[in-house]
Amino acid sequence: MTEKSTICLIGPKASGKSSLLASLTECVAQGAFGYSPRLRPALQPVTEGDFRAAATEIRPADFLAHEEGDYERLKRDFALGGVATDTLDTYEYYFRLTVNGEAPPAIVTPGPWLLEIVDSAGEIAVPPDGAEIPILNDVKTKLARQLLASEAVVLVLPLVRLEDSAWIGALTRFIDRLALAPDKKLRRLVVVFSQYERLFVRLGPSAFTYACDPAVAWHVLRKSLRAAQWLERLRALETGDGGASVRFTVASSYGFTKRFQNPNIDPHQPGERRFRRASLEEARASNEYWRPFLTAEPFLYAALGLDSAFTFSFAQLDARAPEKPAASILA
């Protein structure tokens, strides 16, 4: 039986939402996540028509098709040095998720799952306080309708001092509105702290080893959330009538280099660009050095409700130390 889910990707501008999404399929393909390697998930981009029709297989006519879709363009833009949803609108991407290994008891249905992931510009849901941004009412209505109809929300925040952020007030109001919405279908909400690799830029080849320790991620999350004024509002969202389960995790779209294990940001390139050899074609160069880090976590949890070594509940963050197995990326 094929199940459909809609996941809304929300967060302030330049938080890393589109980059997180652009590196998602590569993260799943490389097994660069904290789930058991025996799970063996696979994620394949599909068309909107396939999603609407609940197609479970690639149609024969599409088997040898090479037309570049929206998601392929998103991945290409990311490989060229970054991607951002600058236009004041929302974009929809569609995927087919399967679990080809040992599915734990928590996964009630065998799948596959058809996912619609809605990526919105940061200025729509979480704009800077006091900013006057000309957003069309039709766009606001569209995103509001998508949020109320979604089964999960992935909230992406950069690893910065939250209390000093210009958008913190808008974030608090967004969570309040979401919690009070009587007709929402929300079942899961994942808070993702992006740009995780920046914490390890001075550690050289030891960076990946430290990043792979769930206890390090746990401490980073605890410290980041210590001054979060909206944290109790999220607790209310989880404990209220028809509450949604809330999880916290970290992720890095730029990730780490495969050979040297350092954060994969090339200091010799302008802006934030991944390491690559100039003599190689872009697609091959991206895969040669690059290991995205945990960008599958929020989406797999949003779709399956399955915890990994790097997804933490309120109870786990309140505890003294995490009790989790080693992540698959260490295997």
Give the tens place of pLDDT for each residue, 121-173: 777 878 777 666 666 677 888 888 888 889 999 999 998 887 778 888 888 88
Q: What is the pLDDT of residue 289?
A: 72
Which has more confidence, 271 or 93? 93
Dihedrals φ, ψ of 252, to 5°? -140, 110
DSSP string, 42-68: EEEEE-HHHHHHT--S--GGGTT----
198 vs 200: CA distance, rounded Å: 5
Mean pLDDT, the chain, rounded, equals 83
Which has more confidence, 173 or 248? 248
pLDDT class of 87 with cuts at 50, 70, 90? low
Inter-CA distances, 161 with 196, 224, 255, Å: 14, 7, 21
| H or E stretch at 282 | helix 282-289
Q: What is the pLDDT of residue 138?
A: 79
151 vs 113: CA distance, rounded Å: 13
For the entire predicted model, the pTM comes to 0.88
247 vs 238: CA distance, rounded Å: 10
| Region 3-330: CATH code | 3.40.50.300
Q: What is the pLDDT of residue 331?
A: 46
Radius of gyration (C-alpha) of the chain in whole angstroms: 19
